Structure 1
Amino acid sequence: MNIIPLLTYAIVASFTPGPNNIIAMTHARNEGFRKILPFIGGVAAGCLLIMFLSSYFNLILHQYIPRIKPALNVLGCVYMLYLAIKIMRSKPASAKDPKVNRFSFLFGFTLQFLNPKVILYGLTAISVFVMPLGQSHVHIIVFSLLLTIIGVSANMTWGLCGVLFQSFLLKYERPFNMVMGVLLICSALSILL
């Protein structure tokens, strides 16, 4: 069983800029790494549930996925473009209300069901890489856990980068947000290709 293509896809898809990664980095930069742990826990729980749902969705509707994938791609692209514009137009961290914790476990969990990158990640990884390797329940559980662990590792890495490069990010917040927005736009457009 060769899982190298799956791991390559999962690492590239997880570590590229996306809503989870950018939120983890920004919040860690503003509040510290420990404050993002509930958010990352929510992301992990939501991601794992999406991986399970993607697996069973693929099992049930395997013959229909090629027909609905273009519509999912367009919806995902539009949502990511919206997030990119929001990031590029965001106000400096000092202008935001620091008393409100918008990055809770529940927010991280719920975000996964609105995040087309995670949904497309799950559908693509499961349908293209996992299902051809096997379709048993144990197989689905193991690969869903693996894909979730890779995704959460990306969130934690982006969060740590937010903390480690805090002074740089605060000094160059506006240009950095513009670059992150452009990278998110590139990620969004790559969904359509």
Structure 2
Amino acid sequence: MNFAAFFSYVILTAITPGPNNIMSMSNASRYGFRRSLPFNFGVFAGFLVVMSLSALFSSLLYDVIPSVKPLMLYVGAAYILWLAWTVWRDAPHEKGGRAVTNTFLSGMALQFVNVKVILYCITTMSSFILPYYHGLPVIAAFVVFLAFVGFACTLCWAAFGALFEILFKRYSRPVNAIMALLLVYCAVSMLIDI
């Protein structure tokens, strides 16, 4: 395996803006870093499940993907657009406010419709890992490593959101508009692939 290509792909894909990172930053800016952790742990758990399924069923999914991809893209885009709507209409929250998009289940559910994560998992498994490594312990180690990299990147985005919390609260409407537009961009870029 070409480790330089593997690590470049993994880090660049995990750190670039996507639904996980944008929602993580948005939640931390609205609720604080600590209160954004349930969402981030949900992302981690969901990512583990999706990556495990990708490892177990990579060859089957790779054959089925052309017929499943449009449906996955529509469902994923719809969920991300719903997230964009909730971010757009959201008012600044106090630290104790209700957090619809900042729950463990919200973070976990996002992984199952986040086409970026699904394609990342399938691509990483089928291109970098499964051709070179076999055996459950080795594959499981890669799954945990990849999920941890994704988790670390969402925490970086959450830290950024929390650091600029005061600025984000002062300018909540423009910040919410930018976050919502970034999510819309994610959804539109997914639909362009259809």
Give the TM-score range, shorter chain: 0.7 to 0.9
Residues 183 and 110 (structure 1 numbering): CA distance in 2 closer, same or farther, change over 3 Å?
Answer: closer
Distance 1:152 1:164 in 2: 18
Q: Return 5+ residue gaps in structure 2 as ranges.
A: none
Give the structure 2 partner of residue 69 of structure 1: 69
Deviates more, 1:123-132 or 1:144-153: 123-132
Q: Counterparts of 1:21-170 in structure 2 under 5 Å? A: 21-87=21-87, 89-94=88-93, 98-102=96-100, 103-170=102-169
Deviates more, 1:150-159 or 1:109-118: 109-118
| 1:5 is the counterpart of 2:43 | no
The answer on whether the counterparts of 2:85 and 2:180 sit within 8 Å (CA) in structure 1 is yes
Measure how far apart 1:50 and its partner are.
1.0
Measure how far apart 1:144 and its partner are.
1.2
Distance 1:81 1:100 in 2: 20
The answer on whether the counterparts of 1:80 and 1:116 sit within 8 Å (CA) in structure 2 is no
TM-score (norm 2): 0.79
Q: How many residues align?
A: 191
The answer on whether the counterparts of 1:26 and 1:162 sit within 8 Å (CA) in structure 2 is yes
Give the share of equivalent positions with the same residue, in percent. 37
TM-score (norm 1): 0.80
Q: What do residues 66-117 of structure 1 show as CA deviations (whole Å, max 9, x unaligned)?
A: 4433443344334334433443x323214x8944354343443333334333
CA-based RMSD: 2.8
Give SS of 1:93's match: coil
- Structure 1: which amino acid aligns with 2:129? V
- Structure 2: which amino acid aligns with 1:179? I
Q: Return 5+ residue gaps in structure 1 as ranges.
A: none
Distance 1:138 1:105 in 2: 27
Give the structure 2 partner of residue 173 of structure 1: 172
